[in-house]
Chains A and B, each alone.
Chain A
Amino acid sequence: EAGVTQSPTHLIKTRGQQVTLRCSPISGHTSVYWYQQALGLGLQFLLWYDEGEERNRGNFPPRFSGRQFPNYSSELNVNALELEDSALYLCASSSDRDGEDTQYFGPGTRLTVL
Chain B
Amino acid sequence: AQTVTQSQPEMSVQEAETVTLSCTYDTSESDYYLFWYKQPPSRQMILVIRQEAYKQQNATENRFSVNFQKAAKSFSLKISDSQLGDAAMYFCAYAFIQGAQKLVFGQGTRLTINP
Size band of the A side of the interface?
20 to 34
B101 near A105 with CB under 8 A, answer: no
Q: Are A107 and B50 in contact (CB under 8 A)?
A: no
Binding-face segment, A16-24, A42-50, A61-69, A71-79? A42-50
Q: Which residues of B (71-112) have their CB < 8 Å from a CB of A?
A: 91, 95, 100-108
Question: Taking the nearest CB of chain A, how far is it from the CB of B9, in angstroms?
Answer: 12
Within 8 A of B (CB), among A8-53: 31, 33, 35, 42-43, 45, 48
Give the interface centre of A31, A33, A103, A104 by most chain B CB atoms within 10 Å: A103
Contacts of A107 in B (CB 8 A): 42-44
Q: B50 to chain A: closest CB distance in Å?
A: 6
Q: Contacts A56-B101, A56-B102 given; indicate if A43 touches B44 (C-beta within 8 A).
A: no
- Cβ contacts under 8 Å, B104 to chain A: 45
Do most interface residues of chain A lie in helix, strand or loop, or is the interface mixed?
strand
Cα separation A107 to B33 with both chains bound (whole Å): 23
Which residues of B have CB within 8 Å of A58? 102
Q: A35-B103, A42-B107 are in contact. Are A88 and B43 (CB under 8 A)?
A: yes
Q: How far is the CA of A58 from the CA of B105 in the complex (A)?
A: 13
A102 — which chain B residues lie within 8 A by C-beta?
Answer: 33, 35, 47, 50
CB distance from A8 to the nearest CB of B (A): 14
Q: A42-B106, A58-B102 are in contact. List 13 more A-B contacts (CB 8 A).
A: A33-B103, A42-B105, A42-B107, A45-B104, A48-B102, A55-B100, A92-B103, A94-B101, A101-B33, A102-B47, A104-B47, A108-B43, A110-B43
Which A residues fall within an 8 A CB radius of B?
A: 31, 33, 35, 42-43, 45, 48, 55-56, 58, 88, 90, 92, 94, 101-108, 110
